[in-house]
Chain A
Amino acid sequence: MRARMIILSVVLLALLVSTLFPLYWMVATSLRGEGAVIKKAVELWPKQPSLGNYVDVFRSGPFSRYFLNSVVVSAFVVLGNILFASMVGYGIARREFRGKRLLTVGVVSMLMVPRQITMIPLYLLISKLRMIDSYFALTLPFLVDAFNVFLISQYVTSLPAELEDAARVDGAGDMGIFFRIVLPLCKPALAVVGINTFLVSWNSFLYPLILTNTERMRTLPVGLALYSQGEHSVDWGHLTAGSTVCALPIIVVFILFQRHIIEGITAGSGK
């Protein structure tokens, strides 16, 4: 029994190392100097690590602008979802109204229908509104995510309604109850919503690709993908440096908030 455990552990550790190796390789390549990349030898860790590639990347492409755009867009989308998804989720969980069933069907349909069907009309709509290549285009359509609404409404349903009733008896208004009682109680769910929305928003690609058309408005993944084509296509030192810049915030957030991320992912499966 013990021997089997040891064998299993060895196998799992080997698998884990090979799973993480490509990401390790990305960082190692990005730290190699100009000459080392051209040299054919395989170096598991650069002999003279240098940040030269990072400096070059930020000089040769508007990577600081991409980074800023990604931060601004993700921040607005996260805040929007925390506020709006909790309003809607609360409304669905606590209020009775006509068409509630239809609304729930709407939420589920948004999760089921693939996004590329709405991609073309959304592009036409945004360009008709003259918002192509603006922060509006990158944030407005993504402020209320269906999955977040679903998550919050599940969470509010699980909360006892007594506190809200008591506040109502004490004369609190609907908005007061929502902001002072419900929102603070929802903090654990809001953390899950915020962090998972950040992951999705930061990595978002297809929509930022079609909704922007100048370097100034590209987000990090889109900027990086376009940078990787054409003249820089085999510039592995620069490309891996850009990739590391794009991946690092996600990995930091993951290390800090692992529990919330896993909670968010498993929330959709159980129900």
Chain B
Amino acid sequence: MRSAVVTNRSRANPRPARSGRSTLIFLSPWLVSFGVFWLFPLVFSLVLSFMQFNPLRPDLARFVGLDNFARAVRDPLFWTSLKNTLVFVCGTVPVTTLIAFFLAVAINRKLPFRSLYRAGFFVPSIVSVVVISIVFKQLYSPAGLVNKLVEVFGGNPRSWLGDPGTALVSIMAMDVWSSFGYYTILFLAGLQAIPAELYEAAVLDGGGFWGTLRFVTLPMLRPITLFVIVINTIRSFQVFIEIFVMTRGGPLNSTLTSVFYLYDRAFYRFEMGYASAVGYLLFAVIMCFLFLQMKYLRVGRGAGE
């Protein structure tokens, strides 16, 4: 009762003026950086997307209404880039999630070298993607190790990144390799939060490995699985560095992704208005995707439990 009164009073008359000013001081770095480097660019970008704007010829800047969006929708390359990006996302995210999930379940047992696995699988995910891309460019090269391995098994060597049929898949495989350790760590954290009693109960109920997985592990890990899928989706939609270093969108645009397309239009052709429109379109696609994922996975939860 007493504490309620105190809270009420402090709400009615929050703080002396001095404290209000210091609150502002504490928040000021955020207000400046949020306003100048985030909110302003976000709004400006929306304005740009309705303009024709070349930074080399600012005098020619003019409003063109929805022309940029119409142009994007009519540009076959825009659709190619979006298709490649969707293939990349839909191909890598489920595979990475599955590997990370089962690896985490395996490591979570009382095994020798547990901490070694935890650390070792994680390492590729913190090394610069530029480094990873260069290393794999060498492995995939015609005289590279992948071809040597293929020859050992009697296959035909090929130029993995030079062939439009294999370039994107090769980059996707590299992405899975370099990122699954990161999500394994997240799953492991989730597994460690599951109370041991649940497993004991499952054992008493006679649930085997798959039974325990299905009725204890999976439902308990649902929130973290959703988290993993969402952040991996956001990250994968923005795939850029690999493309920049390994293929620059080629061969025959087979690895042209949305962000590379956007980068090319903005910083090689200086069509910054058009590129902003492409950015907003991509953003809309990502949001739709995330919305569907959340809805689908939530519904799945309601049905499963």
Q: A258 an interface residue at 8 Å Cβ cutoff?
A: yes
Residues of chain B within 8 A (CB-CB) of A42 are 145, 148
- What residue in chain A is nearest B22 (Cβ atoms)? A174
Whether the pair B126, A25 counts as a contact (CB closer than 8 A) is no
How extensive is the interface on chain A, given as a class?
35 or more
Of A12, A113, A229, most buried by chain B (CB within 10 Å of CB) is A12
One digit per residue, 1 when the CB lies within 8 angstroms of any chain A CB and 0 when it does not, for chain B 78-121 equals 00000000000000000000000001001101011100111111
Residues of chain A within 8 A (CB-CB) of B134 are 26, 224, 228, 239-240, 242-243
Whether the pair B106, A251 counts as a contact (CB closer than 8 A) is no
A178 to B266: give the CA distance in the assembly, Å. Answer: 44
Stretch of A114-122, A159-167, A183-191 at the chain-chain interface:
A114-122
A87 to B131: give the CA distance in the assembly, Å. Answer: 35
One digit per residue, 1 when the CB lies within 8 angstroms of any chain A CB and 0 when it does not, for chain B 35-53 equals 0111111101100100000
- What residue in chain A is nearest B18 (Cβ atoms)? A174
Main SS class of interface, A: helix
How far, in Å, is B258 (CB) from chain A's closest CB? Answer: 9
Q: A19 an interface residue at 8 Å Cβ cutoff?
A: yes
Q: B63 an interface residue at 8 Å Cβ cutoff?
A: no
Stretch of B23-31, B194-202, B212-220, B297-305 at the chain-chain interface:
B23-31
How far, in Å, is A67 (CB) from chain B's closest CB? Answer: 13
Residues of chain A within 8 A (CB-CB) of B275 are 120
Residues of chain B within 8 A (CB-CB) of A140 are 37
Residues of chain A within 8 A (CB-CB) of B44 are 121, 124-125
Closest 5 CB pairs of A and B: A91-B26, A121-B41, A118-B41, A84-B29, A174-B22
Q: A221 an interface residue at 8 Å Cβ cutoff?
A: yes
Whether the pair B126, A26 counts as a contact (CB closer than 8 A) is no
* A5-41 interface (Cβ within 8 A of B): 5, 8-9, 12-13, 15-16, 19-20, 22-23, 25-26, 29, 40
A220 to B130: give the CA distance in the assembly, Å. Answer: 10
Q: Report which of A97, A127, A141, A175 forms a contact with B33, defined as CB distance below 8 A.
A: A141
Q: A270 an interface residue at 8 Å Cβ cutoff?
A: yes
